[in-house]
Amino acid sequence: MNSKKHTVSDEYGNFVLDYKLGDTIEFRHDHWQTKLVFGDKLTDSIFLKKRPIVLDEIVITRNRHNKEIDDLKEIEKEKNRKTDHFFLRTF
């Protein structure tokens, strides 16, 4: 971060970067959490954590051409009849 140099890894994640022991190195990639490492703490492998995806709202609708949801409802009804229990699942 001090020298403002950057590099890009190859398809296997390998990279080459010149740095000094006092430098702070920033590792970042889209959809992954950024990680800062001090030059004197740099190891052979750096692992980034996946950045969580937060959705405000999801709307699920049934595809009228897909009978799987209706089939699941029938399976639940049959299971309820066999066990003498009442269970209603909404889809």
| DSSP sequence for 25-89 | EEE--TTB--EEEEGGG--S---PPBPP---S-------TT--HHHHHHHHHHHHHHHHT-----
Whether residue 68 has pLDDT greater than 80: no
Whether residue 1 contacts residue 24, with contact meaning beta carbons closer than 8 Å, is answered with yes
Q: For residue 69, what pLDDT is reported?
A: 63
Whether residue 39 contacts residue 21, with contact meaning beta carbons closer than 8 Å, is answered with yes
In terms of pTM, does the model score above 0.85?
no
**For the segment 7-62, what is each residue's pLDDT rounded down to a tens digit?**
888 888 888 888 877 888 888 888 888 888 887 777 878 888 998 888 888 877 76
